[in-house]
Structure 1
Amino acid sequence: MERRAEHESLFEDADFPAKTSSLALSDVTPIFKLQGVISWLRPQEICKSPQLFPPDLTQAHAKQGVLGDCWLLCACTMLLKSKHLMDQVLPQGQPQWGQQGYDGSFLLRFWQRGGWVEVRVDDRLPCIDNKLCFSQCLCPSAFWVALLEKAYAKLHGSYEALWAGQVSEALVDLSGGVAERWSLPSSGEEEEEEVEVEEEEKRGDAPPARRRRRRELRLSEAVREACAVSCSFHRGAPGETGVSEQWQYHALSVLEWTDVQTVSGETECLLRIRNPWGRRCWNGAWTENGTGWNTLELAVSRQLLSSTKPGEFWVNQKEFQEEFDDVTVGYPITSEGHLQSIYTGGVLSHLQQVRGRWVRGESAGGCRNSSSYGSNPKFWLRVAEPAEVVACLLQYDPDERTTAGLKGLMKRDMDAVTTQTGEGGRGQERRHQHAIGLHMWKIEKKHLNLSRTLNKPPCACTHSHAYEREVVMQAQLSAGFHLLIPSTFQQGAQAGFLLRVYCSSPASLSAVRTREAAQPCGSEGEGEWESSSFHGSWTPGVSAGGSRNFPSHRQNPHFLLTVTYDPGATNVRVTLRQNCPESKCQAIGFHIYKVLDDEDGGGPLEGEPVESCVPHCYAQEVSLVCSLRGGDYSIVPSTYQPDLTGHFTLTVARRIHRKVVQSQENLGRAIKEVSHISVMRC
């Protein structure tokens, strides 16, 4: 009775209760099916002498449970390497079990959008058969991992929200620093990429730094031990060495990266890797009885093998390159709290950050392919002396709160689906992210001619526009002013962003005033047209809805048109051409509808069209020239009769108020590289 009364007086978190709502908000993952078998127990009900950390810190590593959050557990390795970061996330001095002042609650902190957010949780943890069912320490009586996982789940709305994610995002949330993710291409892809980069460099579209991101994977010895490094599998087919089908979409931690001498005098680079599952599951040449150890001195082999713990194994550089698909590297943070460059080992002791927004029709100008690129937010970066700079662009929903315990976050994310990552129980849905990028130009004495500047190659830029929460750019800059422009790939994409700049010397970051970026008057800023072409088809029963005489008209293809320049005269030309011999032409036409402000997308809406190319004509090509006010419109091409098969090309020309920027940006491999998320397959 006494013990029960003690438990009843302990803190119970009403914002993240010990109920099904904290486990899952949908039936997308297997977590939802566990609701009837999970019980919520406090650590003192699970074991006799609970503690936050075990005496032997090698036993403090995380072991993954039934929740697919290997991406978070790999990031937790960074905290074990840095007492400074561990104390930042899990503040010292909190009363533990059996100590005076213990009340059943713990406070943790996570970095969110430029600052640290406090999250308080109770210590009731999900269990099955009186054992933790989610993540735990290798030492069963240590609970720092389970508490951190619960606080992070509360921050995201539920445990289910942690089922899939990126290691890079968790590294940033746990450190407040920077993380980069690099692809590990095969030899054939590497050669192809090198040719592409060389061609882009000749055109001025890509700086030489891009090649390093793809190929130079060795880290400087100055930062190698302090970095948080993880590696991931994304491929569908098993490799020849150690990858099995169950490893797909799985992330692991790189604990050690060392060079050893072989008996023949050659240098062999070995990496010690830890599987969050807590078992090795590897069959390469450097497993415990592998042939690789025969190439080393016996004493060296014994020393390295003796350092491995459960769930750990060794690979060499060649195996690593061939078997893993990408690497994520978290920048080290010094004990003084400064970022350390993974490229040079230098300390980037100066930080500037600023927030901004991309607003459709105002500051969402898209990438450099678009004439409206110059309308994107612009920032001055002034560097006092030659310095190394790391700039980070982080996107977010400006209307989304960042406080802990936000219910409904996972549900809303499910409604905003854009990507799925597998079949069956492994399929996960993620919140929409735009492809974002960052470009920089050197400006002499702050004299800015925007049109002239944007038609020059940037002095530095991100690898490409990528569907990442955050993209990173590193550069060596000379003293003076630099123009920074963050952008989305698609014009009109709306989001908030945080721009952070780390610098090895004093620097300042400020928004460019409107008058500084004003366009020159006269013929140079008027009278030009920008054209875009789209290919589509009418398919019976799917997208062949016919004219407005038929209720199926809404099924026709529709194309979004954003008008940003309204000179009060003709500003739009639309041409519809059917791709067939003239003898087989059908009656075609199109309508232009206004997209209402409260609608999300470019579909045809209720109401009358604002412009129409009618009547439908038996012609290979029909066109319309009109004047549209600023805003979003939907162009709906159709045949007169429904359920007719045909292919067409829609060409849209818009009048623009500035010269077209000469650039050929594309997403390239970025879509393939960034659309994966690290998920454990149970």
Structure 2
Amino acid sequence: MEMETEQDPLFEDPDFAAADSALFADYTTPLSRLLGRVTWLRPQHICKRPQLFPDDLTGAYPKQGILGDCWLLCACIMLLKSRNLLEQVMPPGQRVWGERGYSGEFCFQFWQNGCWVKVRVDDRLPCVDNKLCFSRCHSPYAFWVALLEKAYAKLHGSYEYLWAGQVCEAMVDLCGGVAERWTLKTAGDTTTTEKNPFPKLSKEMRKCSHISCCVHSAPAGAPERGQFHALSVMEWTDVKTSDGKDVQLLRIWNPWGRRCWGGDWTESGAGWSSLDPLCAMDLLARTQEGEFWVDEMEFHQEFDEVTVCYPIAEDGHLHSIYTGSLLPHTQHISGHWVRGRSAGGCRNNSSYSSNPKFWLKVGAGGEVLLTLLQCGPWHGQRSYTQRPPGDSSSPQHPLYQAIALHLWKVDKKHFNLKQTLNSAPSASSHTHAYEREVVVHTHLSAGFYLLVPSTFLQGAEGQFLLRVQSTCPTSLSEVKVNVPQESVDGEWETASVCGRWTAGSTAGGGRNFPSHGQNPRVPLTVTYDPGGNNVKVTLRQHGPENSLHAIGFHVYKVSGDRVDSMVISSAVCPVVSCVPHSHSQEVSVQCRLPPGVYAVLPSTYQPDLKAEYTLTIERKIHRKVMSSQERLGQVVQEISHISVMRL
């Protein structure tokens, strides 16, 4: 077919220009070495007769360039195994080089927060010395990987934002499904843990699931295997040695496109001599560029983590990786954590019950998969820092909140929220995790279940998506809570004070210690009491979660108006207390105080503990009642005018 004429201008993406702004974000990765060296070329200027996909499937395999996005390329392998997924991400029928109608524009789709988002890009690709400098295909004439990578970089904000990430997140973005990952080793251990996922995977699931593995640090003697590097499991097979011993072999693919292995199952390794020669020849013949074999023992010794993506049937439903069963019943619902209203924090907090709540009705018993996804957008922010995914030594994640999902079986007609939440949950994600998505797999009997998604920190805001996929019919809905309306003749005023407990000075400890009166004193004046709670006091300590102190506070009535000169001893009783002291980031109490002057004493339980804190006091104050005659029609009309002005 004939090429378009030179007079026909090719598409140039105005939202993701072929410039440094598309390459770099903060210049904190090794990518910054490319500054001033990159040129942007279209595929027809890189090679003759470019194509999206080569005729040979092996030539379509990704090959990593100098961008640290092995996590994305391992997920891309999944697309080569499923035409349905590939056409979902890359809609078919797009005009390519040499075809009439080719415009230099390509369209991709990525699953984001519950829906498929279209991303269009031009085909100007970053090159150094007229060669692609980032990901490419094994075939020098195929460009599907380079174009997909560019679209994914646009989705995130720049190529540099793809440096280091989670395979499970890329898998979900490319299929809209669910991925689980397990740690194979405990900290400082080289042996497998009891949380071994492999026995749960049947032979059929091993064959149809997409499995990735990663190393957190380069093993001794193999530095080129890299640090925090992801690879893919291409095949998993059982063989029998000449002495009758059963061995499980895994064929591993390295996105670098080279074999970096020194075990018993290298091409000249000792392991092959233990197999029938014909079997050994067949297995060795299956390896492509960048692939190698390991046995299961080597796999557990050398790799730190494994990720498994649930297989997706042609109708879009998931297969359980535990039972192989189809999960045809799917539902999802979105929600928000809002500070001061529905961001109650973890179960350590008395405010836990204020978190969003949902009903799950299970019609008949069955297998249920629940996931809690915290939503972005993450545009313009790094997706992951360079640290081991799931590394518990890192106390917090730069973008995500630590989240968890708990569920309790309840009798909907006789339901006591406090008693239910104080009992053991029927199932949960066990711990709060700094993950984009946490997964709960369980079997539930028929009935009603209360679902509570939460963040670890009280007051942490965010949007989330709750998904349910099951073998049995389910119904998911939000629990409607009647929130008492505030009196129309008052409003809340908020004030915050930052301070610190200093050992030997202002760290007096709790009331059990004679030094309690040395704690900082924050004055509180109450002028208005319309009835009901009129004061809320919140104490938040600053510091990492793994070194929290037990904190609390007391509120004392002051005689006169001299807060600093008031003598506070064990004989003086507080009018309000936030006790017992809790190892929480934040504690709070709502109360009713009559008009007067008070002193709030924040404290750690033990004296002489050093820490910084913020004390926030909300109090109701009087305001004039204002009547409003605004009607819906007037609001709609105003919004319409604003919309017109923005066109």
Question: Per the shorter chain, which TM-score range?
Answer: 0.7 to 0.9
1:317 and 2:296 are equivalent in the alignment? yes
Cα distance in 1, alignment partners of residues 326 and 250 from structure 2? 25
Q: Is the 8 A contact 1:588 1:619 kept in 2?
A: no
Query: How far off is 1:451 after superposition?
Result: 1.8
Query: How far off is 1:506 after superposition?
Result: 1.9
Residue 371 and residue 48 in structure 1: after superposition, are their counterparts in 2 closer, same or farther (change >3 A)? Answer: same
Per the alignment, residue 114 of structure 1 pairs with: 114
Per the alignment, residue 293 of structure 1 pairs with: 272
Q: Is the 8 A contact 1:576 1:621 kept in 2?
A: no
Residue 613 and residue 281 in structure 1: after superposition, are their counterparts in 2 closer, same or farther (change >3 A)? Answer: farther
Query: How far off is 1:88 after superposition?
Result: 0.1
Q: Is the 8 A contact 2:364 2:445 kept in 1?
A: yes
1:483 and 2:483 are equivalent in the alignment? no
Cα distance in 1, alignment partners of residues 173 and 357 from structure 2? 26
Per the alignment, residue 14 of structure 2 pairs with: 14
Listed one character per residue, the Cα deviations across residues 190-215 of structure 1 (whole Å, up to 9, x for unaligned) are: 99976xxxxxxxxxxxxxxxxxx555
Residue 193 and residue 47 in structure 1: after superposition, are their counterparts in 2 closer, same or farther (change >3 A)? Answer: closer
Query: How far off is 1:464 after superposition?
Result: 2.0
Cα distance in 2, alignment partners of residues 82 and 156 from structure 1? 25
Query: How far off is 1:27 after superposition?
Result: 1.4
1:354 and 2:333 are equivalent in the alignment? yes
Cα distance in 2, alignment partners of residues 243 and 350 from structure 1? 46
Equivalent AA in structure 1 for residue 387 of structure 2: T
Q: Is the 8 A contact 2:191 2:301 kept in 1?
A: no
Q: Is the 8 A contact 2:509 2:603 kept in 1?
A: no
Residue 216 and residue 578 in structure 1: after superposition, are their counterparts in 2 closer, same or farther (change >3 A)? Answer: farther
Listed one character per residue, the Cα deviations across residues 450-506 of structure 1 (whole Å, up to 9, x for unaligned) are: 122222222211142111000001111112211111111222211110000011122
Q: Gaps spanning 5+ residues in structure 1: where?
A: 195-212, 519-535, 548-556, 558-573, 595-600, 604-609, 639-644, 655-682
Q: Is the 8 A contact 2:50 2:142 kept in 1?
A: yes
Cα distance in 2, alignment partners of residues 144 and 191 from structure 1? 39
Q: Is the 8 A contact 2:523 2:563 kept in 1?
A: no
Equivalent AA in structure 2 for residue 421 of structure 1: R
Q: Is the 8 A contact 2:541 2:612 kept in 1?
A: no
Equivalent AA in structure 2 for residue 510 of structure 1: S
Cα distance in 2, alignment partners of residues 224 and 175 from structure 1? 18
Query: How far off is 1:247 after superposition?
Result: 1.6
Per the alignment, residue 402 of structure 2 pairs with: 435
Q: 1:222 is paired with a residue of what secondary structure? A: helix
Q: 1:151 is paired with a residue of what secondary structure? A: helix
Q: 2:442 is paired with a residue of what secondary structure? A: strand
Per the alignment, residue 438 of structure 2 pairs with: 471
Equivalent AA in structure 1 for residue 401 of structure 2: H
Per the alignment, residue 636 of structure 2 pairs with: none
Cα distance in 2, alignment partners of residues 578 and 64 from structure 1? 62
Q: Is the 8 A contact 1:589 1:616 kept in 2?
A: no
Cα distance in 1, alignment partners of residues 179 and 236 from structure 2? 18
Per the alignment, residue 238 of structure 1 pairs with: 219
Query: How far off is 1:262 after superposition?
Result: 1.2
C-alpha RMSD of matched pairs (Å): 4.1
Per the alignment, residue 387 of structure 2 pairs with: 421
1:123 and 2:90 are equivalent in the alignment? no
Q: 1:514 is paired with a residue of what secondary structure? A: coil
Query: How far off is 1:586 after superposition?
Result: 12
Residue 441 and residue 586 in structure 1: after superposition, are their counterparts in 2 closer, same or farther (change >3 A)? Answer: closer
Instruction: For 1:514-529, list aligned pairs within 5 A.
Output: 514=481
Per the alignment, residue 449 of structure 1 pairs with: 416
Cα distance in 2, alignment partners of residues 317 and 473 from structure 1? 27
Query: How far off is 1:370 after superposition?
Result: 2.1
Residue 512 and residue 243 in structure 1: after superposition, are their counterparts in 2 closer, same or farther (change >3 A)? Answer: farther
Equivalent AA in structure 1 for residue 292 of structure 2: F
Q: Is the 8 A contact 2:186 2:193 kept in 1?
A: no
Q: Is the 8 A contact 2:38 2:127 kept in 1?
A: yes
My pick for the range that moved more, 105-114 or 308-317, is: 308-317
Instruction: For 1:504-523, list aligned pairs within 5 A.
Output: 504-514=471-481
1:369 and 2:348 are equivalent in the alignment? yes
Per the alignment, residue 532 of structure 1 pairs with: none
Per the alignment, residue 205 of structure 2 pairs with: 223
Listed one character per residue, the Cα deviations across residues 306-361 of structure 1 (whole Å, up to 9, x for unaligned) are: 11111111111111111111101111111111111100111111110000011122
Query: How far off is 1:300 after superposition?
Result: 0.8
Q: 1:238 is paired with a residue of what secondary structure? A: coil
Cα distance in 1, alignment partners of residues 293 and 439 from structure 2? 30
Cα distance in 2, alignment partners of residues 216 and 34 from structure 1? 41
Per the alignment, residue 153 of structure 2 pairs with: 153
Per the alignment, residue 83 of structure 1 pairs with: 83
Q: Gaps spanning 5+ residues in structure 2: where?
A: 389-393, 485-499, 525-539, 543-554, 557-561, 578-587, 592-598, 617-647
**Identity of counterpart residues, as a percentage?**
52
Cα distance in 1, alignment partners of residues 613 and 102 from structure 2? 69
Cα distance in 1, alignment partners of residues 66 and 19 from structure 2? 18
Q: Is the 8 A contact 2:4 2:102 kept in 1?
A: no
Per the alignment, residue 337 of structure 1 pairs with: 316
Per the alignment, residue 614 of structure 1 pairs with: 564
Cα distance in 1, alignment partners of residues 305 and 4 from structure 2? 50
Equivalent AA in structure 2 for residue 324 of structure 1: F
Q: Is the 8 A contact 2:192 2:301 kept in 1?
A: no
Q: Is the 8 A contact 2:231 2:253 kept in 1?
A: yes
Instruction: For 1:158-237, list aligned pairs within 5 A.
Output: 158-185=158-185, 213-214=195-196, 216=198, 219-235=201-217
Listed one character per residue, the Cα deviations across residues 214-234 of structure 1 (whole Å, up to 9, x for unaligned) are: 555552122222211111111
254, 259, 271: which one aligns with 2:238: 259
Cα distance in 2, alignment partners of residues 311 and 460 from structure 1? 41
Residue 614 and residue 269 in structure 1: after superposition, are their counterparts in 2 closer, same or farther (change >3 A)? Answer: farther
1:276 and 2:255 are equivalent in the alignment? yes
Q: Is the 8 A contact 2:60 2:142 kept in 1?
A: yes
Query: How far off is 1:614 after superposition?
Result: 3.3
Per the alignment, residue 134 of structure 1 pairs with: 134
My pick for the range that moved more, 42-51 or 444-453, is: 444-453
Cα distance in 1, alignment partners of residues 572 and 302 from structure 2? 54
Number of residue pairs the alignment of both structures matches: 547
Query: How far off is 1:395 after superposition?
Result: 0.7
Equivalent AA in structure 2 for residue 134 of structure 1: F
Q: Is the 8 A contact 1:575 1:650 kept in 2?
A: no
Per the alignment, residue 25 of structure 1 pairs with: 25
Cα distance in 1, alignment partners of residues 118 and 275 from structure 2? 49
227, 239, 243: which one aligns with 1:248: 227
Query: How far off is 1:369 after superposition?
Result: 2.2
Q: Is the 8 A contact 1:12 1:122 kept in 2?
A: yes
My pick for the range that moved more, 242-251 or 32-41, is: 242-251
Cα distance in 1, alignment partners of residues 478 and 20 from structure 2? 46
Q: 2:6 is paired with a residue of what secondary structure? A: helix
Per the alignment, residue 590 of structure 1 pairs with: 520
Residue 330 and residue 193 in structure 1: after superposition, are their counterparts in 2 closer, same or farther (change >3 A)? Answer: closer
Residue 613 and residue 247 in structure 1: after superposition, are their counterparts in 2 closer, same or farther (change >3 A)? Answer: farther
Cα distance in 1, alignment partners of residues 349 and 301 from structure 2? 38
Cα distance in 2, alignment partners of residues 138 and 449 from structure 1? 61
Q: Is the 8 A contact 1:380 1:481 kept in 2?
A: yes
Q: Is the 8 A contact 1:392 1:470 kept in 2?
A: yes
Cα distance in 2, alignment partners of residues 191 and 430 from structure 1? 27
Cα distance in 1, alignment partners of residues 125 and 188 from structure 2? 48
Residue 652 and residue 3 in structure 1: after superposition, are their counterparts in 2 closer, same or farther (change >3 A)? Answer: closer
Q: Is the 8 A contact 2:410 2:449 kept in 1?
A: yes
1:58 and 2:25 are equivalent in the alignment? no
Residue 91 and residue 650 in structure 1: after superposition, are their counterparts in 2 closer, same or farther (change >3 A)? Answer: closer
Per the alignment, residue 501 of structure 1 pairs with: 468
Query: How far off is 1:396 after superposition?
Result: 2.4
Per the alignment, residue 96 of structure 2 pairs with: 96
Query: How far off is 1:244 after superposition?
Result: 2.7
Residue 216 and residue 257 in structure 1: after superposition, are their counterparts in 2 closer, same or farther (change >3 A)? Answer: closer
Task: With a CA cutoff of 8 Å and minimum separation of 6, indicate the structure with the bigger relative contact order.
Answer: 1
Cα distance in 2, alignment partners of residues 254 and 192 from structure 1? 18
Equivalent AA in structure 2 for residue 260 of structure 1: V
Residue 190 and residue 420 in structure 1: after superposition, are their counterparts in 2 closer, same or farther (change >3 A)? Answer: closer
